[in-house]
């Protein structure tokens, strides 16, 4: 598994002994979960904090969310047992399209079935059960991570004490689905894609790079690009504008560390996100999320605009909305991390979660 090399040496693995049933009715055999943990689970098993990662993320939350870790911070290993697992369907150690299908002995590729956010959460739940976690003080995540947080609150209400949902919605919008589909089409248009049956020598790198270029623009904002690049030029005949080079670089970085089929299956899972699906009226379902909830919007987020978090917060009985005044767009939760840390710490203190 090529992307194994990106899994940090601190990663632990949990192997399911039973087949894992998906929401679709399909099931997966010999599922493996890659995870990281920080701190120690107490005897009561009630000091866990769960971090859910975003689309191309991994279990190394102390890397990509480093400023949120530390004594007195959102994630404090001196008092809490912090946990982050690579999501189902990803390529960083948890079973996904790059894994071997034990039923065929070959890589799943696009034979890896369609999955949902709920499937991701149920798999995390099996890990938490295995680890002896009785209560989860907080489930926290941004973007795809925030979708998992909402499903955690609904699927395991007795387990979850509080939630923090950042730059996410309760159901994927037409806007997001359209942009997702456009990115998948960029991959499909690559001659190396071959219906997902590509090999390591001929990866659909151009298509995946275009997908990432589209995504990167939607993760940022007019303001952040203007501030950083404006119309800066450079001595490159192919790419005279600095912003174009930047996006190319982002595309190239992703193709070196991420798999195209994985990108397809995970974006499809995001498109399936709808807390109302097969549960009934969306508004009534929102009202069922009774935990203290921090909902963080990012003022300049064009992908999951603040109206989505306003609607979430308005519909949940114990939610409080905080809007980050970040100019960086959707990626603000990975850029303005010190501010985000303060917001989460304040919320947690308020609910006496840290001071019990």
Positions marked catalytic:
143, 301, 330
For residue 210, state whether it binds its own copies (rule: CB under 8 A).
yes
Q: How far is the CB of 174 from its own copies (least distance, A)?
A: 4
Which pair of tokens denotes residue 347?
């919320």
Q: Does 56 bind its own copies (CB under 8 A)?
A: no
- The correct pick among 60, 161, 190, 259 for binding its own copies (CB under 8 A) is 190
Calpha distance 299→76 (Å, rounded): 27
Counting contacts by CB under 8 A, is residue 174 touching its own copies? yes
Backbone angles phi, psi at 50, to 5 degrees: -110, 130
Residue range at the interface with its own copies (CB under 8 A); choices 32-40, 63-71, 93-101, 223-231: 223-231
Residue matched to tokens 């971090």: 51
Please report whether residue 131 would count as binding its own copies according to CB under 8 A: no
| Whether 89 contacts 114, CB under 8 Å | no
β-bridge pairing 32-38 and 81-85: antiparallel
For the bound state, the minimum distance from the C-beta of residue 355 to its own copies, rounded and expressed in Å, comes to: 39
Near its own copies by CB under 8 A: residue from 70, 175, 257, 320: 175
Contact status: 307 vs its own copies (CB under 8 A) = yes
**One character per residue 227-246, x = contact with its own copies (rule: CB under 8 A):** -xxxxx------x-xxxx-x
Query: Taking Cα atoms as reference points, which of 310, 330, 221, 229 lies closest to residue 270?
Result: 330
Our finding on whether 178 is near its own copies (CB under 8 A) is yes
d(CA 312, CA 319) in angstroms, rounded, equals 8
In 3D space, the residue among 171, 150, 164, 173 whose CA is nearest the CA of residue 321 turns out to be 164
Angle at 3 between CA 144 and CA 329, to 5 degrees: 30
Query: Dihedral of the CA atoms 79, 68, 307, 282 (nearest 10)?
Result: -40
Rounded to a whole number of angstroms, the minimum distance from the CB of residue 144 to its own copies is: 17
Q: What is the DSSP letter of 124?
A: H
| CA–CA distance, 325 with 2 (Å, rounded to integer) | 39
- Binding its own copies (rule: CB under 8 A), the pick from 189, 284, 314, 325 is 189
Asked whether position 185 contacts its own copies by CB under 8 A, the answer is yes
Give yes or no for residue 151 binding its own copies (CB under 8 A). no
Among 133, 167, 186, 286, binds its own copies (CB under 8 A): 186
Can you give the binding site for its own copies, defined by CB under 8 A? 171-175, 177-179, 181-182, 185-186, 188-191, 206-207, 209-210, 213-214, 217, 221-222, 225-226, 228-232, 239, 241-244, 246-248, 251, 271, 274, 302, 305, 307
């Amino acid at each position: 598994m090529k992307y194994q090399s990106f899994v940090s040496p601190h990663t632990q693995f949990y192997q399911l002994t039973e087949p894992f049933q998906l929401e679709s009715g399909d099931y997966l055999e010999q599922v493996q979960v890659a995870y990281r943990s920080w701190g120690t689970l107490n005897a009561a098993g009630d000091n866990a904090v769960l971090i859910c990662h975003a689309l191309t993320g991994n279990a190394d939350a102390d890397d990509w969310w480093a400023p949120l870790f530390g004594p007195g911070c959102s994630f404090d290993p001196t008092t809490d047992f912090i946990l982050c697992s690579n999501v189902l369907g990803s390529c960083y150690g948890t079973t996904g399209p790059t894994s071997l299908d034990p039923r065929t002995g070959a890589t799943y590729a696009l034979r890896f079935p369609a999955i949902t956010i709920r499937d991701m959460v149920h798999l995390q739940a099996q890990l938490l059960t295995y680890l002896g976690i009785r209560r989860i003080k907080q489930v926290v995540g941004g973007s795809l991570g925030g979708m998992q947080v909402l499903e955690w609150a609904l699927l395991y209400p007795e387990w979850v004490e509080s939630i923090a949902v950042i730059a996410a919605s309760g159901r994927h919008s037409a806007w997001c689905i359209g942009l997702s589909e456009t990115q998948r089409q960029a991959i499909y248009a690559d001659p190396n894609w071959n219906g997902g049956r590509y090999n390591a020598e001929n990866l659909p790198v151009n298509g995946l790079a275009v997908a990432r270029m589209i995504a990167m623009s939607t993760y940022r904002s007019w303001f952040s690009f203007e501030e950083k690049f404006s119309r800066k030029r450079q001595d490159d005949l192919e790419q005279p504008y600095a912003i174009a080079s930047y996006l190319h670089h982002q595309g190239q970085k992703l193709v070196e560390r991420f798999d195209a089929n994985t990108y397809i299956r995970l974006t499809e899972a995001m498109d399936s996100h709808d807390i109302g699906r097969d549960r009934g009226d969306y508004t009534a379902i929102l009202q069922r999320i009774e935990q203290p909830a921090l909902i963080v919007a990012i003022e300049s987020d064009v992908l999951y605009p603040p109206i989505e978090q306003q609607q979430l917060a308005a519909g949940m009985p114990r939610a409080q909305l905080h809007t980050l005044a970040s100019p960086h767009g959707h990626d603000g939760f990975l850029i303005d991390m010190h501010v985000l840390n303060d917001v989460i710490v304040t919320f947690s203190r308020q609910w006496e979660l840290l001071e019990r």
